[in-house]
Structure formats: C-alpha cells, structure tokens
Structure 1
C-alpha cells in the first residue's frame, strides 16, 4: 500500500512539475533511492548501496574528483588527506569506519572522502560566499505538517546534481529514516524519520574559521553527522528538537524541524559550539501556519541582493493554508529567487505521511 501511495504521489508531482515549472529547458529528474543496512558492521554498510539503485560508480568517482579539485585549495586537500590517516581522532565510530568502507566501495582515497564530508565545517563562517538553501515547514488544512527544502550550493552545482541520491537507512529490515544526500557523503543534510520528525540543514555564515576548528578540538560534532545522529537516535519531534538545541556543532547552522502535530515546527539557530536562538512554528503572527528559513537569522532582514525569504513568504501567502499540499510546496520552492541557478535538488517530505518523501534533481534550474 505504501509503495502505491508513494508512486501515486510521485506521478502527481511529476505531472505538476512538467505543467507548472519553467526552467532551463531540461527536465527535473527523480533521485534514485539506494539502501543502507544499519544492522551491518560500519565497514560493510556502504558496500552494495549502489547496486540497490543502479548508480554508476565510474561516473560518480569522476564527478567527486572534479568536485574536490574545483572547490578545495591544494593546501587544504593535503591537510585533510593527512586527517584521513588519523581518522579516528577526528570522527567517532561508526562514521570513521563507514568512510573506510565507502572508500573501498568507491575506489577513492580515504582523504578525498574526508574532504567531501568535512567540506561544510570548513566553509561555513562569516567570510564564506557559499550561501545556500531554503527550508519551509507548514501545516495544511488537515493540520498535517509538510516540510520542503531546496539545497542550493554556489560551488559547482552541476557536479552535485550528478551525485544526488535518496538513501533509505534501514534497521531490522525496516526503514528507520529516509535521507537525501550526495554519493560519497555519509552525513545527512535532509532527512525524515516517518511517524516522528523531519529535519533539514541550511548554511549559516557567522563567526570565524578558527572558532570552528576550536570547537572541533573541544569535542564538537561535525555538523551534518550531528543531524544524522539525530535521525538515528531521536524517537519523536521533542527528542529531535532537544538534540538539535543541545548538540554542539563544529560550524554554525540552521536546523529546521517538522513534526507530526500541527504546532511541531522549529528553526534552531546554531553558533559554533552552542545554540543561538529557537523560533517555533506559530510564533510569527503574520503567518502562524508556516516557517521559512533561508540563510539569514530570522530576526534580521535579509539583504536586498538575496531576498529569497520574502519571495517564499509571498508565494506561501498566495497559496494559503486551505490550498496547501506537497505539490503546492514544490511550486513555492520553484518560484524565482527561491529556485535559482545554484539549486541542486528539491525534497518534499512529511513525518506524518510516509508516502510523501520525494526528491527531484533540479536539472531545470535557470541558467
């Protein structure tokens, strides 16, 4: 039954995209869904993940190599490859062993995967120009929470589109949570534990790189490994919210959460190493049925040069709560500014409805 419901939703979404969204002339494509078995030893978990979704490993290796060379300075590559030799000092189990196993599966040096997996933590600070992402959590007229996000990345989005996948993380032969990620990246930027909560991460450019490094040395969690840990361990929205608030992350970030009840939604604003602020769904009386986060603190005006927030708010207000649906949220995430040349994928998800988890790779992004 769930498979039929998910297929029906996918077909409706595809129809909606082809009739409503104008892009570069190319069509958005659904992401492949791969499977990772968390009951296996960490070294083995990623051994056969590509066979479950038909992803081309040779192509993936080429793209990851090109991506690393295009966005990371040579001296940083050398440093992080050295980190790969002492991985257990920087990443805890099981993630260090997962990276070792994935290195063997992909046929890529362990140091290269370390670079890919720590890229956010070494680029998210106040001098960064790589602002990215829009996340929206909203309640429909039946008070079902629907969560959507665009993952935008200024550095080589064309490469990232080619390695975008969905991953079904399973335990005891059942889905524990769904996630959208990139091949080679074992952290989670977008995910949903059905029946419990959904979570997405948006970049926050505050603080200094030295502060990120200091937080890492003092036991801070790699930002999107922390988000994956929340998905693995939190059993409901309240637990997820408390973990998002209390877990020290290496880099500043916005964690955006949705639950299964009409009031369950939050933006958790993180500094390096601590929480800075929490905004709850319903706290903005102008639009109490939804929250919007891009890459700017909710209490500050976004810059006129990048006002994706107001573009999203205007689109949400035009839709209205009574007409709101997963398809309408996709449409909102496809309006000008919110949807842009750096958008790599759009994910629509709902913790209250397991049939609503769908990622479209945005090949239709404007030129």
Structure 2
C-alpha cells in the first residue's frame, strides 16, 4: 500500500507508474491502480475534492440522476470503468461520477479556480518538448493521489498519462511517436451552459482528451479530433507533435472552438505558453504566470532548451506555486522523456 503521508523532506518525488490493461473488462481495469492505496485515505481525498469544488449542493441530485442512467451521459467503456471503481472503492456510483466530472461543473465564468500552466517548445534540432504544471487547491490530497498510468493494449504501451487515483479521465498524456496533450482550465460561460452541454451529448472534457489519446494516430488527427469533439465545459487543449512546428493551443467554449493558436503563429517563434487566460487578453496582475513563464523561456533560449530546462522553467516563482500538485515533462518524439514529479516542494 502506498503511504499517503507527505515525504519527510520537502523534495519533489517521482510519481509511481502503474499499468492499466485496456484488454481487461472495463469494470476491472482500475483495480490494479487503486489497490495500491489505502482505501479509506483514497476515499477521503476524493470526497474532499468534490466537497471543495462542487459549486452548489443543488447539483448532487442531478449527478445522482446521471448515475442512474449513466450511458445516457457517459459513453462506454467509461461508464463501466466508473462502475468498477464504485465497487472496488465501496463508494456510491453518484459520488464517483461527481469526482470524475468535477471539472465540468467547476469551469465557468464565476469560478474562482485557476489551475495549470502548459508549455510546448522546440529545441535547436526541432525536437518538440511539452511540459505542464497541474495546480489545484487542496493540493496535499491530490499530491498523495498522483500517479503515472501506462495504458497498454496487447502488452504494449498505447499511451502514458498522469492522473489522480480514482479519476479515469486524462488531463496530461502522451502517445509514443505520435503526439502529447494537456488540458488547462478555462473559466468562461455559465454553469447552466455546461449542464445544457451535458444534456446535448457533449463529452465530459477530460474523457474527451483520453479518447483522443486512445484513437488518434498522429498530431494532425489528434488536433482534428480536439477541434471536432464538443466538450461539456470550456477548456484549453494544448497539443504537440513529433515534427518541427507541431504545437497548438485549442481554445474551446464547450460545444464550439473559440480560437486556435499554433506554434508557427506564435510571436515567440519556438514556443507557446498557456495558463488559464485567453492569449489575446492580458492576465490579471494577481496571477501573471504567463509572463513569468515567457521571461523564463526567453532566458533559456532555443539553443539551450531541453527537458531539464523546461522543468526549470516550470519551477520558477509564480509558474510554480503552492497549488502545484505535479509537473510532467514529455516528448512524443522521445517517449523515454515522459516523467512526472509530485511537487511536495511547492
């Protein structure tokens, strides 16, 4: 059983990797991951997550209704994966569903949540390196649930992802020799629009991202799927490929795309940065992670850019903050780069 206690020092710690076998029946897939955690502490972490991020208790009956008719809102095999988690964790299905769609009911205009920085850069040889910080409040619970998951089919890695035990969506992932993708929160629109999107067969946002990793075969097909798949909530999807210039920020308003900014269009030339604000707007002075990241990237320069330097950029003040739960560095061109550090040093 993984210790859920904070390490004795304040050092960053590599996330443990678990294999998820996609050839297993969906209800059995996550058992191998969650069995390594103390079930009581895991449940406490999940309950804390949704109790703190649930914008209104009025949503609980709606989620319980979704749980009763799960396939109407959440497609297979994800519906059965949630049922499997509910059984192995001995949690009500409605509670498991709530944890897994918490982003979709917390990303809207009046939400106070600001989370994440994603950067795609190109080194002097044209190699693409993609990194991200995942920032969330109540980070101590989430740091203790952070895992790398090796999604395998036929005994081979289909894609790598970083997630939280008990959460089946993907916010950070990379498909070897194909593409990498990360999601950043976008707070626009209204909560009722998200609920309408859910009723209109839109995808839970980070289930959509996982499906891209499962289905798309290269950067172009990943980008196309990200653009064409309606999501419940607004989001920034940051996609990178294996060839020079393959990088983009896709800004979704839920059911439609608001904007696409590519690496080639970037004023920086060799990198793009996304935090939680539309690129054409100034970030607020109270949360200017964007300029801190840009300044750090410019100091590094393209000629010295590397996975380690990107980790250093994601560790500068503001970009790295008390809410940073993990940092992942990945490169679809070089799958050995994929590495997640749990930021107990935050």
TM-score, normalization by structure 2: 0.94
Measured after TM superposition, the shift of residue 40 of structure 1 is 1.4
Partners in 1 of 2:50 and 2:245 — Cα distance? 41
Which residue of 189, 195, 202 corresponds with 2:171?
A: 189
The match for 2:315 is 334
* Unpaired segments ≥5 residues, structure 1: 1-23
Partners in 2 of 1:198 and 1:56 — Cα distance? 31
The 5-angstrom pairing of residues 15-34 of structure 1 reads 26-34=10-18
Structure 1 stretches (4+) deviating beyond 6 angstroms? none
The match for 1:127 is 110
Q: Does 1:347 align with 2:328?
A: yes
Q: Does 1:251 align with 2:233?
A: yes
The match for 1:322 is 303
Q: Does the 8 Å CA contact 2:197/2:231 hold for their aligned counterparts?
A: yes
Q: Does the 8 Å CA contact 1:207/1:272 hold for their aligned counterparts?
A: no
Q: Does the 8 Å CA contact 1:125/1:251 hold for their aligned counterparts?
A: yes
Measured after TM superposition, the shift of residue 108 of structure 1 is 1.6
Q: Does the 8 Å CA contact 1:133/1:295 hold for their aligned counterparts?
A: yes
SS across alignment from 2:326: strand
SS across alignment from 2:150: strand
* Unpaired segments ≥5 residues, structure 2: 1-7
SS across alignment from 1:48: helix
Partners in 2 of 1:67 and 1:122 — Cα distance? 13
Which residue of 273, 294, 300 corresponds with 1:292?
A: 273
> Aligned pair count?
338
Partners in 1 of 2:9 and 2:276 — Cα distance? 28
TM-score, normalization by structure 1: 0.89
Decide which moves more: 179-188 or 210-219. 210-219
Measured after TM superposition, the shift of residue 284 of structure 1 is 2.2
Partners in 2 of 1:48 and 1:318 — Cα distance? 43
SS across alignment from 2:158: strand
Q: Does 1:169 align with 2:151?
A: yes
Which residue of 27, 30, 34 corresponds with 1:43?
A: 27
SS across alignment from 1:245: helix
Q: Does the 8 Å CA contact 2:50/2:102 hold for their aligned counterparts?
A: no
Partners in 2 of 1:34 and 1:106 — Cα distance? 17
When the two chains are superposed, the root-mean-square deviation of aligned CA atoms in Å is 1.5
